[in-house]
Amino acid sequence: MTRDDSQSYFTRFWRHAKPLDIVTIGYLALFGFGIIAFGRDNESWLALLGAHVVLFLFCGWMVVNWHDRERGLTGFLRQLYPPLLYLFFYAETGIAIYWIIPKFLDARLVALEQMLFGVDVNVWLLPFQKPLINEWMMAGYFSYYLLVPLVALPLFFRHRISELNKFLTASTVAFVISYFGFVLFPVEGPRFFLADQLNQPLSGYVFVPLVRWIIANGAVHGGCMPSSHVAVAWVALVWAYRTQRRLAIVLTPLVVTLFFATVWGHFHYVSDVVVGWPVGMLGVWIGGRLTRSLPQSDSVVKIDRGAKYRPVAKTIGETK
């Protein structure tokens, strides 16, 4: 009998769970309780709660039974299951927008920005929106959907699991903070609140219609404050500079463009962007604090039992 076999399931979970697991599975549980407390007026609340229970149990099972998986399909699922859940987490915020405050608060943000800038920035930008500029802006906006995979996948396939976990912990924390913000300060965004003034749709050739299709088919009504695009893009850029400098250099102009594109495309107010940046910084900081006990980096050694691999923390002064 192994040490694991003699321990309770709960004890084994806490023994093998990483900070990333705690944040992800904890959010699953917390949102599930939110559905019970606030979401029972939604006709699909039971199905959504059931999905949370299934995901909670399966993710916990993976932590216990696949805790050492770092390669192949099972390793891919074990190490990368949190970003596989990001789209689900985002989509379900649509039912949670009114849980605490039963109305959108856009009027307050618009009044604040009019006081600060003297104009509605989203409306003020309309005369400058030309097809080629729109294409560049929406290319930057579209890059958001690629940022987490572009940073995470090379770390996984190069077996840099410790760095992968640190990056995903930071990005997951940034997402979770953003989703709490969606509920605590519900904002529908200028494309809805200022729709009567934003009567000039963006024109473009490739990225403009592509982003328009994504938004029409995948965006929730609400979920603007803070901008999770800005928050997670900042986390991805910081971790790209920490782990993959050449990639970071390529991503930098896209991420900077993304910050502006969120307002240019009428998806966010300036306020959403301004708040999104410190949320990203907070994700980096909290993620760093949570993962301090993880090795700084990984190397790989092959052991005798079959073709399994184990990460070994590099020691100070180790040669390459």
Q: Averaged over 205-209, what is the pLDDT? A: 96
**Residues in Cβ contact with 114 at an 8 Å cutoff, skipping those fewer than 6 apart:** 120
- From the CA atom positions of the chain, what is the Rg in Å? 21
Q: Which two tokens stand for residue 45?
A: 């609340």
- With pLDDT > 70 as the criterion, what percentage of the chain qualifies? 90
Classified as helix, coil or strand, 28 is helix
Contact (Cβ atoms closer than 8 angstroms) between residue 178 and residue 228? yes
Q: What is the SS3 assignment for 93-120?
A: HHHCCCCCCCCCCHHHHHHHHHHHHCCC
pLDDT tens per residue across span 180-204: 999 999 999 999 999 999 988 899 9
Least confidently predicted of 120-124, 173-177, 243-247, 313-317: 313-317
CA distance 250 to 290: 29
Average pLDDT of the segment spanning 94-103? 92
Cα–Cα dist 234/129, whole Å: 25
The count of other CB atoms within 10 Å of the CB of residue 154 is 15
Please tell me the pTM assigned to this model: 0.88
Q: What is the pLDDT of residues 137-165, one digit of tens each?
A: 999 999 999 999 999 999 999 999 999 99
| CA-wise closest residue to 56 among 78, 20, 35, 27 | 27
**φ, ψ for residue 300, nearest 5 deg:** -125, 135
Strands (E) located in the chain? 298-302, 309-313
SS3 (DSSP) at 299: strand
